[in-house]
Amino acid sequence: MRGRSLLLVISFAVVVCAASSPQQLDKPSIGNPAGRWVGQYTTATQPVFLVVRLTKDNERWQGTYNRPTLDWEDYADLRNLKVEGDKLSFDLQEAANPLHVDVGWEKDSLLGTVKGANAEGKIQLEPTGTLAKDHLDTLAGDYEAAGESYVIERENSFLCFLNRRTGQSGRLMPKTETEFWTGPTMDIWYPPKLWFEFVRTGSQPMQLKVRGGAKQDFVSTRNDLYSKEGVEFENAGAKLSGTLRIPPGTKPHPAVILLHGSNYQTRGAQYAALAFVADQFARNGFVVLNYDKRGTGKSGGERVDDPELISGDAASAVRLLRTRKEIDPKRIGLWGISQGGIIEPLVAEKVSGLAFFINVSGAVVNTNQQEIQRTELQLRADGFSEDDIKAAVHLQEVKFHYACKRDNWDEYESTLKAAQGKQWLPDPYIGPPDSKTSHAWDFWSCGVDPGKSWESVHVPVLYLQGEFETYSKPSENLLRLQQAMNVAGNRKFDHKVMPGAEHSMFRAKNGGEKEEPFLNTYVEGYFPLLTDWAQRQVGTR
């Protein structure tokens, strides 16, 4: 067992359940542990945390588990799962030491024991629930008082908080319809560190009470700093859904469209990171549009990350904003993180006249080359040997050569076979298809060259990189963007390295994958830097 704390979240769900009102908390009960549990067990002196998901289908209970700090996002099956009255038992199939868990109800908790050949300890699980997304949206907002400021935003099915003074952020675990707790980090939710309670009295605005920590309890009334409006727009046969944040005032505002990172991202994005950026821009005078990526949330279309398609979605968002009376059509800019930064110049090829670009951690080199760089940097940050790094990089190079040229399958197949059993295979470091018919080959192809598209950008550009960027090599990407700006004759280019930041601008030590579950605080100055720079470009500062 590695010497670090791991998260235990047990999530139970029944395939068929009774309908509930929009605000009702779905919570476990004796004999029917459907819902989510959060807790920890201890063997010897080490607290251990994990994620377990349980379903009941045709009277049969099934489950999977995950340990965020050890298994990344990989889930394994629970073994020997039994639910009998107020008792539960299951096995965690540790590679070297399988663990058997026996728990029973005591008041609102599940308490019991953990036993293995070389380990024994106690376990405690606390029930949390799930709430309708529409109900969570009624709690979101800005709460400010006495020098403290909390922003509450929805990620997808979770609320997240941001303390604007300290940069601390985290997910909120529901205990009731209005009471939540947050754990030590974004991905470690137990034990509780802060308690959040939302209070509404009649028609009065919502109040937020935060207790815990060293400071005095925080109590504030929600302050509506801007209005929100749901909007829709279309591209390539898909209707996309988003939120428009509109500051007060009668004169047309500058505006910004927020572009997501890769994979499944609703309008708030992972950890509500886009929603927090949206709040920062809106409270500083910008109309802001953030939207569900195609195939997620309320947006239609197929869930794909094709750069041409998703840049077309963003271009349609620009056209929508240019029809709004609240917006100055000549002062619309783009903010993009990771993949969002990569596709920004592709959007500019589809709609002209954009006012500025903010690229946060978006690669500028060829996207296949960026993936090779990511593998090298993340393996090194996570402590792998140079021999392992060399072998993994070689596999990536052979893989992407085949994706582009399709002339070295035998070499790829033998290289992949030689890598089997290595700790760095497969994800999160490498995604290696084992079939010629995989759709991944067509998706990767020869990659995308955003640097070439940046050569046609003539308006102000801000490029933000973290000190501990591990998704692509900062120096090579900066050099490529500087070359593109020179080709464009664009002298309105600013570059900033955020000290202590990793790819998503959380405070980090090395930016590795193993570090990600322990992140909980944005680096100092990140949010105000965005709006200070953007305001100067549009003449509002």
Model confidence at 7, in pLDDT bands (50, 70, 90)? very low
**pLDDT tens per residue, range 394-429:** 999 999 999 999 999 999 999 999 999 999 998 889
Contact between 342 and 450 under an 8 Å Cβ cutoff? The reply is yes
Which 8-state DSSP code applies to residue 461?
E
Domain 8-128 listed as CATH 2.40.128: yes
How does the average pLDDT of the chain come out, rounded?
A: 91
Model confidence at 53, in pLDDT bands (50, 70, 90)? confident
CB atoms within 10 A of CB 478: 15
Structure token digits, residue 380: 């090194």
pTM of the full predicted structure? Answer: 0.93
Model confidence at 93, in pLDDT bands (50, 70, 90)? confident
pLDDT of 62 over the 60 cut: yes
Q: What is the pLDDT of residue 8?
A: 39
Which 8-state DSSP code applies to residue 441?
H
Q: What is the pLDDT of residue 325?
A: 97
Length of the chain: 541
Q: Residue 385 and residue 184: Cα distance in Å, rounded?
A: 30
pLDDT of 4 over the 80 cut: no
Structure token digits, residue 23: 């605000």
Greater pLDDT, 219 or 41:
219
DSSP-H helix ranges across 14-150: 68-71, 133-139
Greater pLDDT, 213 or 159:
159
Tell which residue, 389, 391, 364, 368, has the closest CA to residue 378. Answer: 389
pLDDT of 14 over the 50 cut: no
Q: What is the pLDDT of residue 215?
A: 67
Q: How far is CA 433 from CA 303, 374, 424, in A?
A: 19, 18, 15
Q: Residue 12 and residue 29: Cα distance in Å, rounded?
A: 11
Contact between 156 and 268 under an 8 Å Cβ cutoff? The reply is yes
CB atoms within 10 A of CB 267: 28
**Average pLDDT in the 330-334 region?**
98
Model confidence at 31, in pLDDT bands (50, 70, 90)? confident
Q: Residue 488 and residue 239: Cα distance in Å, rounded?
A: 34
Q: What is the pLDDT of residue 24?
A: 77
Contact between 154 and 37 under an 8 Å Cβ cutoff? The reply is no
CATH for 227-365+449-538, options being 3.40.50.1820, 3.40.50.300, 3.30.530.20, 3.40.50.2300:
3.40.50.1820
Q: Residue 109 and residue 106: Cα distance in Å, rounded?
A: 5
pLDDT of 245 over the 90 cut: yes
**Average pLDDT in the 486-513 region?**
97
Q: What is the pLDDT of residue 19?
A: 36
Report CA 79 to chain centroid distance, whole Å: 30
Greater pLDDT, 514 or 9:
514
Q: What is the pLDDT of residue 533?
A: 98
**pLDDT tens per residue, range 342-374:** 999 999 999 999 999 999 999 999 999 999 999
Q: What is the pLDDT of residue 248?
A: 97
Which 8-state DSSP code applies to residue 455?
T
**Average pLDDT in the 461-472 region?**
98
**pLDDT tens per residue, range 251-275:** 999 999 999 999 999 999 999 999 9
Question: Looking at 87-91, 125-129, 422-426, 430-434, which range is the least confident one?
Answer: 125-129
